Structure 1
Amino acid sequence: MIRKLRYFTFIFAPIAVVIVLGAWSLKQADDTLAMVRLESSVDLAVGLGANALTRHLDTVQRDLRYLSAQDALKRLIQHGSSEALAQFTHDALAFSDAARIYDQIRWIDEQGDERVRIDRVDGVAVAIPQAQLQNKKDRYFFTDTMALDPGEVFVSPLDLNIEQGTLQIPYKPMLRFATPVADASGNRRGILILNYLGKTMLDEFAAASSGLSDDTMLLNAEGYWLKSKEPDDEWGFMLDRPETLGARYPDVWPRIHRSEQGQWLDPSGLWTWRSVYPLKSGTVSSTGTAAAAGPSGARVTSRDYVWKVVSHVSNDQLATLGTRTASRYAWIGTALLALLALLSWLLAIALDEQARARRLLERLATTDGLTGLANRRFFIDQVKQYWGSYQRRPDVPVGVLMMDLDRFKSVNDTHGHAAGDMVLQQFGRILRKSLRQTDIAGRIGGEEFCVLLRGSAVEGARIYAERIRRELEAEQIPIGEVRLTVTVSIGASAFMPDDSIPTAAMQRADAALYRAKAAGRNRVELA
């Protein structure tokens, strides 16, 4: 019993130390890895959210340019006929129904009067009667767009829609894309404007960036929430609420505001952010205004029109990274000690099976399944290696044989493909048993084979080839009740010092093989 206890102590003590230290190290590494994964996942989610925003905006700008170039609109602007008005209204209705992302499509004339207005009501495009059209000359998006040159695009701030002088309820986030339109003489005739339903974009943004942190948000350049997990935080600049991210987190916002993107761990948690610039070349914006009427504060360039996609992982969520506690790892260590012998044996079996499977996979990847010789891909790799060795040691010759079974097609045609397979297998056995450890043979085509003979020049290769040819010719291959005799034609060559490519000797041997075929088959020809 004492001896058994000594053996147990001798085995248990060092393993127990290793397991305890390993469990502690694993816990530390696991916590670190979990943090790295979280940081990478959140950064990916922020990037996905940013991409969702820009993808939608690019589509809207393309649509605006497309509509502004329509012939019906040009005729309406130029002539103002009722026929042109009806045609453009029809086209705009069809476009709205096809796109399904625009709350309004409008042509507003140079006086600010809505002349064509298509609203999306309960998912259906509706042309608003003339009596219900409004004047928008005092809205910032009209005055700011009219100040542009034809071809330029105005993109409003993302804000809430105002109708009849008041905010729409429920709130309707809106982006307005507008461009000035002109007649044939270049006179401005108002603006074409698309009211893009921001909810579509914001919902996709939320879906793309969800699930990886407890708070992913979209902010404007002033730090107001455009999208937040708390709806009460949103649209403060429209609702006269001064609360911003900067007011709530004064140490965090300056860092986010001044840098394009980044990640920062501070006492409030992990912050990840990325800047999104919605304005493309040829587009401008302004500060807009939260009032029902009145000019915008200032013109905004593409570099100043910025949104911030921000993710905040709170300390509570970060604390969940440490759920693999010491007690859990202690339980694992105890279980490992109790099951050490069994697990070691099972592991040894698994490793042995894995090694066997790896060897099998390596053999399958390098060996022709029918003949047991090297397959074409592996053989060509070997040719390159042999050639590299020859370049370093040109005093060690390498012979090359190209072999092709004579009239093999007739064997398949007369006796069937099973008989052809038996012929290939028998020839493969002949080659395998004749090879030295420094040689290699491969099947590089249907009935075409190649052999590399290290240490053999052309004459040595010829002698080897003759031996193979005679042995195959003497072989009687049983095919059912028939004894089949098959011959082989062989071309012999060797690596040369002035060869520029590894397969040059193969090409010479192949040419010699064709001469052997032409000379009557069942013979060896030298290159």
Structure 2
Amino acid sequence: MTSKRIVLVFLALLLPFSLLIGYWLHLLAEDRFDKDFRHLRQQQSLGIRLGNEALKEDFEALFRDVAYLAALAPIHDALNDDAEAAREQLAKQLAEFVAHKPIYSQLRLLDASGMERVRVNLTDTGISITPQPQLQNKADRYYVQETLRLAPGHIYVSPIDLNMERGKVSTPFEPMVRLSTPIFAGDQLKGMLILNYRAALLLQYFRDATREVPGEVMLLNTDGFWIVAPDPDKEWGFMRNRSDLTLAQSQPDIWSRIRNTNKGQVSLTSGLWTWESQFLIYSDFAANLHAPAGQTPMIFDQNIWKTVTLVPKTQLDDIKQESRTQLFRLGLVLLLAWSGLALAFCHSKWQKA
């Protein structure tokens, strides 16, 4: 057998195998990426669920506190015009509660006109009870107006925002959630109880629960502003007069989907998006939340936040490239092995020629 014929035999053995291996590896790469992509989609959905469950668990404890405080006997007494002693007693009880649970920066009892009757503050310097001459009327605050509309037993949960002092956002930022419930005597509205919760704890629970989720995890308010963002500089735009810091501005296509649907998952040119709107619904908590004896069960049905994850296209490309690289190495090993066998076969033919 001539050398030219040996080469042709070698190529005849090698090329079909190479094409077959290449096609097989292509199919295998696509199949592997599809499996990786499905796993990634499941991870995103699970990550959103973990983040939301962390938030819901925290709210359940907050609702229990509201129910407990609203049932205190001195609450009604402190709303009477001549109830100075009752107000002092209630202030002491609330101060003890804050000392036991320093997750609240402020507890207040307001009358039906929005005037503060009792205010207890927790600051870096400790707990303080506001003297009566320094109490203020808060009738113009949005959370007071929302609470005045509630029926007995209902809880209002404010949007997550930043604490403000004297009309300005406090620095460093103090994320805040206000929970309030009206106080009735029979059918007559007597006042309202308001708790200022330090929501930095809530947001930290969310971050901890979603730390291992691949990609970017975001918490948005219902207007599309970031509360938790991959870039902290984008957070709290609605409190900083930065209307540009919204998902609607940076990604209008995906925001229109997120705004108009409660949950979904879609792959766009920007990457894989997963989202879910969350509601605080009484039935979700009813099994674990019991109002004190004689009190109406607390009811709260509100859309509070939207949890969103994004796996950027660059990360998806990296996953696909990693699969291809691994299979390329496998293909190279198989090709080298087959080349060795083909060479050995051609060599034996050469020797016999």
Does structure 2 retain, via aligned residues, the 8 Å contact 1:104–1:195? yes
Q: State the AA in 2 paired with 1:309.
A: T
Matched, 1:202 2:203: yes
Q: Tell me which moved more, 111-120 or 74-83.
A: 74-83
1:10-29 equivalent positions in 2, closer than 5 A: 20-29=22-31
From 274, 277, 281, give the equivalent of 1:275: 277
**3-state secondary structure, aligned to 1:105:** strand
| Counterpart-to-counterpart distance in 1, 2:327 and 2:113 | 76
Structure 1 residues 100 and 26 mapped into 2: Cα distance closer, same or farther (>3 Å)?
farther
| Counterpart-to-counterpart distance in 2, 1:63 and 1:330 | 59
Does structure 1 retain, via aligned residues, the 8 Å contact 2:32–2:323? no
**3-state secondary structure, aligned to 2:136:** coil
1:107-506 equivalent positions in 2, closer than 5 A: 107-122=109-124, 124-183=126-185, 186-243=187-244, 244-278=246-280, 280=282, 302=301, 305-324=303-322, 326=324, 328-335=326-333
| Counterpart-to-counterpart distance in 2, 1:61 and 1:123 | 27
Show the counterpart of 2:46: 44
Give how far 1:145 is off.
Answer: 1.6
| Counterpart-to-counterpart distance in 2, 1:224 and 1:326 | 38
| Counterpart-to-counterpart distance in 2, 1:236 and 1:31 | 37
Does structure 2 retain, via aligned residues, the 8 Å contact 1:278–1:306? yes
Structure 1 residues 212 and 148 mapped into 2: Cα distance closer, same or farther (>3 Å)?
closer
Structure 1 residues 327 and 257 mapped into 2: Cα distance closer, same or farther (>3 Å)?
closer
Does structure 1 retain, via aligned residues, the 8 Å contact 2:159–2:304? no
RMSD in angstroms over aligned alpha carbons?
A: 3.1
Q: Deviations over 1:136-159 (max 9, x none)?
A: 122122233223333222222222
Q: How many residues align?
A: 313
Give how far 1:260 is off.
Answer: 1.4
| Counterpart-to-counterpart distance in 2, 1:249 and 1:266 | 11
| Counterpart-to-counterpart distance in 1, 2:158 and 2:323 | 52
Give how far 1:44 is off.
Answer: 0.8
Q: State the AA in 1 paired with 2:320.
A: G
| Counterpart-to-counterpart distance in 2, 1:242 and 1:213 | 28
| Counterpart-to-counterpart distance in 2, 1:21 and 1:55 | 51
Q: Deviations over 1:366-403 (max 9, x none)?
A: xxxxxxxxxxxxxxxxxxxxxxxxxxxxxxxxxxxxxx
Q: Deviations over 1:271-317 (max 9, x none)?
A: 10011013547xxxxxxxxxxxxxxxxxxx946x3421111111111
| Counterpart-to-counterpart distance in 2, 1:195 and 1:120 | 10
**3-state secondary structure, aligned to 1:252:** helix
**3-state secondary structure, aligned to 1:237:** helix
| Counterpart-to-counterpart distance in 2, 1:325 and 1:189 | 66
Q: Deviations over 1:3-38 (max 9, x none)?
A: xx9xxx8xx869877755554433222222221111
Q: State the AA in 2 paired with 1:201.
A: L
| Counterpart-to-counterpart distance in 2, 1:204 and 1:50 | 10
Does structure 2 retain, via aligned residues, the 8 Å contact 1:31–1:321? yes
Structure 1 residues 134 and 59 mapped into 2: Cα distance closer, same or farther (>3 Å)?
same
**3-state secondary structure, aligned to 2:78:** helix
Q: Deviations over 1:173-203 (max 9, x none)?
A: 22111112234x6543321101112211112
Provide runs of 4+ in structure 1 moved above 4 Å. Answer: 12-22, 325-328, 336-340
Structure 1 residues 18 and 160 mapped into 2: Cα distance closer, same or farther (>3 Å)?
same
Q: State the AA in 1 paired with 2:74.
A: A
Q: Percent identity?
A: 34
**3-state secondary structure, aligned to 1:116:** strand
| Counterpart-to-counterpart distance in 2, 1:160 and 1:227 | 13
Q: Structure 2: give runs of 5+ residues left out of the alignment.
A: 1-5, 284-299, 339-353
Matched, 1:89 2:91: yes
Structure 1 residues 107 and 45 mapped into 2: Cα distance closer, same or farther (>3 Å)?
same
Q: Deviations over 1:468-507 (max 9, x none)?
A: xxxxxxxxxxxxxxxxxxxxxxxxxxxxxxxxxxxxxxxx
| Structure whose alpha-carbon radius of gyration is higher | 1
Give how far 1:321 is off.
Answer: 0.6
| Counterpart-to-counterpart distance in 2, 1:218 and 1:161 | 18
**3-state secondary structure, aligned to 2:239:** coil
Q: Structure 1: give runs of 5+ residues left out of the alignment.
A: 282-300, 341-527
